[in-house]
Amino acid sequence: MLKKILIMASGNGSNFENIVKKLENQVDIELFTENKSAYVIQRAEKLKVKTHIIDFKSFSRDEYDDELYNFLKKQTPELIVLAGYMKILSPKIVDNFKIINIHPSLLPAFPGINSIKKAYDYGVKITGVTVHWVDRVVDTGKIIEQKSVKIENSTTFQKLEKKIHEIEHEIYPCVLKKLLGL
């Protein structure tokens, strides 16, 4: 029987699609989103991936956390993979499931949102991508893997953003294969 992972995404879903294509037939993948209008849902339909939606806007925060926790308990994934999931997970969820995240900076630098822009505007000469375990604080979990990108003086923000996404698509499936013993 294939190991099951649940990918949680809130938006476009390019990392989701990349993971599905790279791990196809090696693991059972399902999608979860809290955003019923997220483009990732269309990607999942095209890839024939089972999708679960709990509309965040239909609940209070505490109710949503309870719904999500109960859903995850029933799913029993080997690993939860955050791929552009834009909600902070409750301590109850973080403490009871194995969860990893990908972040577009070399953590601990530039945690939170808009990390590529923050690194670019700050003028750093090296940035990159981090895959880490999720803990109770945003982007502070134990680092699993990192890959750096050198920023040349001629690098535009758009070129940097493209390079970061290319590295995300390279590194995330490799980390998943290692963690799942594939």
For residues 74 and 128, give the distance between their C-alpha atoms in angstroms, rounded to a whole number.
35
User: Is the separation of the CB atoms in 98 and 177 below 8 Å?
Assistant: no
Q: Please compute, for residue 171, the number of CA atoms within 13 A of its CA located in the half-sphere on the CB side.
A: 24
Which one is catalytic: 103, 132, 165, 169? 103
Active site residue 165: no
For residues 128 and 88, give the distance between their C-alpha atoms in angstroms, rounded to a whole number.
22
User: Is the separation of the CB atoms in 53 and 34 below 8 Å?
Assistant: yes
18: left (phi over 0), alpha (psi -120 to 50) or beta: alpha
For residues 146 and 128, give the distance between their C-alpha atoms in angstroms, rounded to a whole number.
7
Residue 132's contacts (CB-CB under 8 Å, 6 or more residues apart) are 100, 101, 103, 107, 139, 141, 142, 143, 144
Active-site residue numbers?
A: 103
